[in-house]
Amino acid sequence: MPSRRRVLAATAGTLASGVAGCSYIRSDDTPGVSVRGDVVRSSSFWPSFNGHNANTAYSPNGTAIGSEPSVAWRAPVDVSRGYPVVGEQRVFYPDNNVLRAFDVADGAERWSRTVYELGEDDDEYELGVSTPPAFLHRASVGGGSQLVAVGVAGERNELRAYTVEGDLAWRTPTPADGKLEGAPAYEPRTNRVVVGTTAERVLCVDARTGEPAWSRRVFGAVEAGPAVDEAEAVVTTTAGEVYGLATDDGRGLWRGSLESGTHCTPATAGSLTLVLDDSGRLYGLDGSGGVAWRNDAGAAILYPGLATDGERVYFVTNADRGDELVSADVRTGERRWSVRTGGTAGGNLPTVVDDTVYTTGADRLAAFTTGDVGFLEDRQRWRWRPDGGVYGPVVAAAGRLFVPVSNPDQHELVALE
């Protein structure tokens, strides 16, 4: 009997027929990152804060920086915990109530758009850009400019899309009782955007027009971005529920349960869905939502996100002596190795490029080899220390690393090469 994922892939074939060159395939036999869409192959893109729609934070064809990097450019920003994405030679950065676009090559600010005018008594951390952006690489207005989508919190909550030139393409109101917090997820086969709300609802809109396609109630607030693959959206909730929903009509494909709530953005790797719960447990869920394996990390998860290269899954914990980067086997969940990053209470989402995994922590960005090392060999490849703190994520695209930095006098977005 064909598996649920293969049936889904077959039924999605008609929807995908108009999208040339897209080959999103997930293996049912051997877990691994078998997604090979055009964005994944292209190292010039980083369209979501977790890398791409499957949320693996992995660039298989990118070139890792082998030694301590140099600064290519610096651009001033208002906050140092934004989540940049890269597409069409621009870095899009959510900066409180402003969305900014910087040139990948030289860091020049191409445009900025104020999404909400803050009043004197307004909380700048609660209003404005409320989600990481998502670059919609196959969605455009009239066949022209491609789009970038963000969630906005203001007098009303809404999902917006801007062209890469900064023009407002569409805006779609979302339920007034629920805020958008997790990143929108783009599914190129159906050309739709899926996003969750804190009002226990998942919304789907047409990526080109913003027209609502469907809405579905779930159990628990959705505070993390979905993973989207094979015309399927995987959604996690703060009640510990994990849902597989069809992006064409929102119907339930499967449902799984964790032992505690989660704020984790899930990742898909082969036939598995990978997710961390708020108690520090790592799960591999199978195609029916059942627990294929579970790994107790044994320490608090510092950041509710993970990365995977299809062989291993990487996440950061807060051990007794500081941050620890952990690598576990994708097939079994067994720990393969761990290493002290040197950071303290500043760990962030790991990023994998080829055979190197990057992570930030408090005052540094560090690079580690993903493979096996000898007993006396050092897993760390290099460490970069800015004149300030590194509390945001690291993004890899166009042969560079992009990381927000908090300096004493000025927050910056820094490009390294």
How far is 305 from 395, CA to CA, in rounded Å? 14
At residue 8, the pLDDT reads 35
β 71-77/335-340 pair status: unpaired
At residue 20, the pLDDT reads 30
How far is 91 from 10, CA to CA, in rounded Å? 35
pLDDT band at residue 202 using 50, 70 and 90 as cut-offs = very high
How far is 86 from 78, CA to CA, in rounded Å? 19
Q: How many CB atoms within 10 Å of residue 134?
A: 32
171, 172, 192, 224 from 175: Cα distances, Å: 13, 10, 18, 17
For residue 109, what is the enclosing H or E element? Answer: strand 109-114
Residue 10 in this model has a pLDDT that exceeds 70: no
pLDDT band at residue 19 using 50, 70 and 90 as cut-offs = very low
Residue 43 in this model has a pLDDT that exceeds 60: yes
pLDDT band at residue 345 using 50, 70 and 90 as cut-offs = low
Among 17-31, 99-113, 145-159, 227-241, top mean pLDDT goes to: 99-113
SS3 assignment, position 39: helix
pLDDT band at residue 313 using 50, 70 and 90 as cut-offs = very high
> In 3D, which of 59, 161, 166 has the Cα closest to residue 103?
166
pLDDT band at residue 13 using 50, 70 and 90 as cut-offs = very low
What is the layout of strands, in order, in the sheet containing 232-236?
Answer: 227-229, 232-236, 241-246, 252-257
Q: What is the phi/psi pair of residue 264, to 5°?
A: -85, 135
Q: Identify which has the larger pLDDT, 391 or 316.
A: 316
Average pLDDT over residues 43-61: 87
List the CATH number of the domain containing 108. Answer: 2.140.10.10
- Residue 134: domain span: 4-416
Q: How many CB atoms within 10 Å of residue 118?
A: 15
Q: Identify which has the larger pLDDT, 368 or 179.
A: 368
Residue 370 in this model has a pLDDT that exceeds 50: yes
Query: Residue type at 349?
Result: L
% pLDDT > 90, the chain: 54
Q: pLDDT tens across 399-412, in order?
A: 999 999 988 788 99
Report the range of poorest mean pLDDT among 230-244, 279-293, 318-332. Answer: 318-332
How far is 312 from 331, CA to CA, in rounded Å? 8
> In 3D, which of 335, 337, 331 has the Cα closest to residue 380?
337
Q: pLDDT tens across 238-278, in order?
A: 999 999 999 999 999 999 999 999 999 999 998 899 999 98
Q: What's the number of domains the chain is made of?
A: 1
Q: How many CB atoms within 10 Å of residue 344?
A: 14
Average pLDDT score, the chain: 83
Q: pLDDT tens across 321-344, in order?
A: 678 889 999 999 999 998 888 765
At residue 376, the pLDDT reads 62
At residue 343, the pLDDT reads 64
Token match 């195609």: residue?
287
Joined together, the tokens standing for residue 148 give 């970038």
Q: How many CB atoms within 10 Å of residue 7?
A: 12
How far is 278 from 281, CA to CA, in rounded Å? 7
What is the layout of strands, in order, in the sheet containing 185-187?
Answer: 185-187, 192-197, 201-206, 212-217
Joined together, the tokens standing for residue 243 give 């849902």
